């Protein structure tokens, strides 16, 4: 898992509440054996006018040249609701997004994001409203996210965000569940030597 310490990128506004995982990546595109390749069908039903994803919907924001290289997604409340599919996070990461800023996230989506180096940031509705106003006034605007200091820098302003210290540590060191387990492999092996023979399977 890649490390996340700080990032500066173009903000892509998705001004819609309750964006569910089926919108983020429709079910017909889930049949892959790796995490790669899902970005092509990110927001497929909004991004394309045909189901196969071959004809662009020029009205959708990711098809606007200003935003096509965006790496920070600005959203409303309950982003990532719906099914528990981790593919939704894989699609966002594969497309190139590094962080999502929203009023709230579904719990499972939030957890899946942290496991894939995608930083989910929650801010108050009032702050999100301000950010949308700024983005609409300054299309293609860059902002910076600093995980070390828990701050977002937007032009001359800055906003603080909260994140669990354990999640922050894992993101900054690029550790997923497997990495964490391997980090303590010697202790696990030592513990296993203490298990009585009759309890071993």
What CATH code is carried by the domain that includes residue 166? 3.20.19.10
Residue 50 belongs to some domain of the structure: yes
Residue 122 belongs to some domain of the structure: yes
Integer Cα distance of 104 and 77 in angstroms: 5
Residue 158 belongs to some domain of the structure: yes
Residue 114 belongs to some domain of the structure: yes
Give the global pTM.
Answer: 0.89
The contacts of residue 153 (CB under 8 Å, 6+ apart) are 143, 144, 145, 146
Q: What is the pLDDT of residues 1-49, one digit of tens each?
A: 899 999 999 999 999 999 999 999 999 999 887 899 999 999 999 999 9
Are 150 and 162 contacting, i.e. CB atoms less than 8 angstroms apart? yes
Q: Which domain holds residue 88?
A: 6-175
Q: What is the pLDDT of residues 132-165, one digit of tens each?
A: 999 999 999 999 999 999 999 999 999 999 999 9
Write the burial class of residue 149 (CB in 10 Å: 0-12 exposed, 13-18 middle, 19+ buried). Answer: exposed
Number of structural domains found in the chain: 1
């Amino acid at each position: 898992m890649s490390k996340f310490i700080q990032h500066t990128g173009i903000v892509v506004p998705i001004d819609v509440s309750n964006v569910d995982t089926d919108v983020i990546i429709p079910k017909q595109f889930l049949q892959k054996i790796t995490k790669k390749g899902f970005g092509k069908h990110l927001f497929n039903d909004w991004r394309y006018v045909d189901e196969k994803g071959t004809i662009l919907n020029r009205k959708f924001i990711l098809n606007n040249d200003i935003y096509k290289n965006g790496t920070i997604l600005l959203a409303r409340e309950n982003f990532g609701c719906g099914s528990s599919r981790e593919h939704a996070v894989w699609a966002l990461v594969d497309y190139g997004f590094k962080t999502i800023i929203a009023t709230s996230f579904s719990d499972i989506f939030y957890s899946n994001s942290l496991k894939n180096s995608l930083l989910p940031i929650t801010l108050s509705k009032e702050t999100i409203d301000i950010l949308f106003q700024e983005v609409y006034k300054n299309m293609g605007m860059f902002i910076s996210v600093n995980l070390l200091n828990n701050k977002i820098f937007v032009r001359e302003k800055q906003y603080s965000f909260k994140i669990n210290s354990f999640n922050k540590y894992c993101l900054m060191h690029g550790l997923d569940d497997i990495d964490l387990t391997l980090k303590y492999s010697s202790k696990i092996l030592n513990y296993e030597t203490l298990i009585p023979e009759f309890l071993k399977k």
